[in-house]
């Protein structure tokens, strides 16, 4: 379809006949993401706000359709790279966000930790260095004032504001630690997301795949301790964790005590985001996030009022 034909279709978007509009909308959506630059250019030329809004919605739907395909492709990979996963979440709200900016920000934090790190240090000493760089030097902290803000679920905004929810601060912690071959993993605890530091056995750890939980458990020893990334990297024990579960009336089953996969972490971030949009009565955005979750294997409907304790940090 040439530019003239596309302009003709766009001109018809302001038709009051719902059937005409639906036909034009479906035609534009069928053309795929490659028409987005042209549509964005035409959007700037439109004078009518209603017409602009209709075109804007089509552009957003095209971007969402592409994002769903990217999430499916990510899920199909063996590694399910954590950084790529949080980058894709960024693209929901910031479709033009440059991934290299995210890579650079994480690499800067990793380098700052590496410059202070002596790899003969004990696990506790390594965590102390990470905590010092993240929380003292860079000033990261839990966003207690705006805990339910959707921005807490977008890593680019958390890196900029230095404030986030438990899962996003834990994700940044994991991205830094694992890039230094430090065995820190997420733990999918109800109502709160924490980290586990695993015992290193010999030299086998460096060859491990960070997303292969079975391989990880067979090539490392026990969990040495847990880390609360939301609270300055506080270290605590399994007993402390079990006491927390008792306080919230949750049975301490194995899934709440051992590391989870990158897919589990991405789904948790998305559940938090959907819940945040629900609290703001942004039902349409909540439903779009639920579409992504469904593509990643979640049930098609989740009632956050009833299941939030198990599925988010709210």
In the listed set 76, 98, 121, which residue is the last one of a domain according to the structure? Answer: 76
pLDDT attached to residue 264: 95
Is the domain of 128 the same as that of 260?
A: yes
pLDDT digits (tens, 9 = 90+) for 8-65: 777 767 767 777 777 778 888 888 777 888 787 777 766 667 777 888 888 898 999 9
Residues 139 and 174 in one domain: yes
Higher-confidence residue of 189 and 166: namely 166
The pLDDT of residue 22 is 79
Q: Are residues 8 and 33 in the same domain?
A: yes
Domain interval for residue 186? 82-311
The pLDDT value recorded for residue 204 is 46
Same domain, 255 and 282: yes
Q: For residues 31 and 55, state if they share a domain.
A: yes
Q: What is the DSSP code string of the chain?
A: --HHHHHHHHHGGG-S-HHHHHHHHHHHHHT-GGGHHHHHHHHHH---HHHHHHHHHHHHHHHHHHHHHHHHHHHHSSS--HHHHHHHHHHHH-TT--HHHHHHHHHHHHHHHHHH--TTS-HHHHHHHHHIIIIIIS--EE--TTTT-GGGG-HHHHHHHSEE-HHHHHHHHHHHHHHTT--EEEE--TTS-EEEEEEE-TTGGGG--TT-HHHHHHHEEEEEEEEEGGGTTEEE-HHHHHHHHHHTT----GGGTS---HHHHHHHHHHHHHHHHHHTT-HHHHHHHHHHHHHTT--S---HHHHHHHHS--
Say if residue 47 is in the same domain as residue 102.
no
- Are 92 and 173 in the same domain? yes
- Asked whether residue 48 falls in the same domain as residue 182, the answer is no
Domain boundary among 55, 76, 97: 76
Q: Are residues 117 and 259 in the same domain?
A: yes
Q: Angle 162-296-36 (CA atoms, 0-180°, nearest 5)?
A: 75
Residue 3 burial (CB count, 10 A): 10
Same domain as 211, residue 171: yes
In the listed set 76, 98, 124, which residue is the last one of a domain according to the structure? 76
- pLDDT above 70 for 101: yes
Residue 292 and residue 194 share a domain: yes
- Same domain? 299 vs 249: yes
> What percentage of the chain carries pLDDT values higher than 90?
57
What total of structural domains would you count in the chain? 2
pLDDT of residue 276: 96
pTM: 0.86
Q: What is the pLDDT of residues 229-248, one digit of tens each?
A: 999 999 999 888 888 888 87
């Amino acid at each position: 379809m040439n530019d003239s034909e596309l302009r003709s279709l766009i001109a018809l978007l302001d038709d009051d006949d719902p059937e005409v509009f639906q036909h034009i909308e479906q035609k534009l959506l069928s053309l795929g993401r490659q028409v987005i630059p042209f549509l964005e250019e035409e959007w700037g030329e439109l004078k009518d706000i209603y017409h602009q809004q209709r075109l804007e919605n089509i552009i957003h739907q095209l971007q969402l359709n592409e994002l769903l395909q990217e999430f499916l492709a990510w899920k199909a990979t063996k590694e399910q790279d954590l950084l790529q996963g949080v980058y894709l979440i960024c693209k929901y709200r910031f479709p033009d966000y440059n991934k290299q900016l995210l890579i650079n920000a994480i690499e800067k934090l990793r380098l700052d930790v590496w410059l202070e790190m002596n790899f003969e240090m004990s696990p506790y000493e390594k965590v102390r260095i990470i905590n010092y760089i993240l929380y003292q030097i860079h000033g990261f902290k839990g966003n207690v004032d705006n805990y339910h803000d959707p921005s807490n679920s977008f890593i680019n905004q958390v890196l900029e504001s230095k404030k986030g929810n438990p899962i996003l601060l834990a994700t940044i912690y994991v991205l830094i630690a694992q890039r230094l071959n430090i065995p820190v993993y997420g733990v999918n605890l109800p109502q709160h997301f924490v980290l586990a530091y695993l015992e290193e056995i010999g030299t086998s750890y460096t060859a491990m795949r960070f997303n292969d939980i079975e391989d990880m458990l067979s090539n490392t020893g026990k969990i040495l301790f847990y880390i609360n990334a939301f609270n300055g990297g506080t270290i605590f024990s399994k007993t402390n964790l079990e006491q927390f579960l008792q306080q919230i009336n949750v049975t301490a089953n194995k899934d709440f005590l051992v590391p989870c996969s990158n897919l589990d972490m991405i789904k948790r971030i998305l559940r938090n985001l959907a819940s945040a949009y629900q609290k703001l009565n942004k039902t349409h955005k909540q439903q779009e996030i639920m579409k992504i979750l469904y593509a990643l294997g979640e049930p098609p409907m989740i009632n956050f009022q009833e299941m939030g304790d198990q599925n988010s940090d709210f």
